Amino acid sequence: MKTAKEILSHILAPYESKLSLHRCLRKIIALMPQNYKKYITQMSYKGDVLYIKVSHPALRQEIFYKRNLIFSLIKTMHSAGICKQINPKKIITDYKYSPPPKPPKEIKFYIRKVEDFDIKAKNPEIKKKFEEIKEALKASCR
């Protein structure tokens, strides 16, 4: 019988190159300075071009000017022996507007007394169990 690790490796084998590419792109984002990292929304690699999408238009130009930083990060990753499949010749930054997130809806809930719940079970055994739980809750609240 196969182990879980063997089964997962067999299922994910066709997608291994895409998964490793995605992991490498995540590592590049993690190694970037904090003020760049929080505005990067997406990073993709096609051909010899690294595409970076940001959520602020000023940062688009700033990353474009500091693209040598990204090239040096990739070079240090290559010297460490990881992410050899990423070797961009060019970096393209793009600004994509995304509206600010909406505040969460207000959730209202009402607190009832513990012993005030209705038992709607039709089965007498289940109804008896709920009655026992109700009595236990009444005793613990006093």
Query: Would you kindly state where each structural domain of the chain is located, as residue ranges?
Result: 7-95, 110-142
pTM, two decimals, is 0.61
pLDDT for res 3: 87
pLDDT higher than 80, residue 99:
no
From the centroid of its chain, how far is CA 78? 26
CB proximity list for 107: less than 8 A, separation 6 or greater: none
7-95 belongs to CATH 3.30.300: yes
Closest-CA residue to 23 (of 84, 103, 97, 104): 84
Q: What is the pLDDT of residues 1-44, one digit of tens each?
A: 788 888 888 888 888 888 889 999 999 989 888 888 888 888 99
Task: Give the gyration radius of the chain's Cα atoms.
Answer: 28
Which of the four pLDDT bands, split at 50, 70 and 90, describes residue 51?
very high
> Mean pLDDT across the stretch 51-76?
89
